[in-house]
Structure 1
Amino acid sequence: MSICYIDSPVGRLALEADDDCVTGVRWASPGERATSSRTGPGAPSPVLKEASRQLDRYFGRKLRRFDLPLAARGTEHQKRVWAMMSEIPFGETATYGGMAMALGSGPRAVGMACARNPIPIIVPCHRVLGSGGKEGGFSGGRGLPTKHQLLAIEGVVLL
């Protein structure tokens, strides 16, 4: 596994890859590897360089759809939910219930799969809301404030 760190508007992120696929994006814990991928020893893998570049463009509102090889580990149900999340367009949202209906599942199971998404932001779990446009939950960064921040980057404002 290779890893690199980037600073972003939503906090310090650790990008992880195996071979040529991104396997994870997570919020780095305080004190975790103080150097960034741009200044640290050794160059990050090509896929992590590209992931970092695309994330920089996303946060700069210049990228609307990620194009990266992904290898998320999870159950078949989780993978189906993550694939459906990946199809939610930039600046749009879906609901747990709507996704559940399309998948023949339940909203709670969809919510649990969202919470276990190992590649947040790139696989946009922040675009999934509760019924009636309620914010639902978010397990990354600072929780709901981070979800609001990611949605705001895409022009979505929750009331």
Structure 2
Amino acid sequence: MIPSKVFTLKDIANHDSPNDLWMVIYNKVYDITDFVSEHPGGAEVMFDCGGIDATIAFEDVAHSDVALSMLDPYYVGELHRDDCQVYSHIKNPSSNYVHSPTQSNSIQKSKKLKKKKRKPKWKKNIIIRNFTFVMLVTLALVGFISYLYLQKIKWMNQIQ
């Protein structure tokens, strides 16, 4: 296995022009110069993230694992250990940056907390559907009872 080249953030900052564009995602360094024209989100966003650690911007748009794997051909090396960040989750499990056991435990705990706090969308939809159903049934009953009441009044007036 060929050892990866190691770059500092200062090294990467020198590669921020349209003809020489590098970025860091999950502590991995990519030369995305040739990828800019293929990026579905347009070139401008790539230029904004060139020469820096773009992991947060990458996560903000909720890129898929497929999007991350599209960068594999552009991989040039790893970020220097002093510049590495610890992320609550890393989409690419093949990262060479190893977390200590206490860090990975806290990462697992934070994932569990996120799962507990968040209700799935389908549960929210069921609650909305149930509420809508109850409201429609209530309106139908009120309408039917009102109709019966008016019919009773009409019938009482005909008898007299």
Q: TM-score, normalised by structure 1?
A: 0.30
Q: Of the two, which has the highest radius of gyration?
A: 2
Q: TM-score, normalised by structure 2?
A: 0.30
Return the structure number with greater helix share.
2
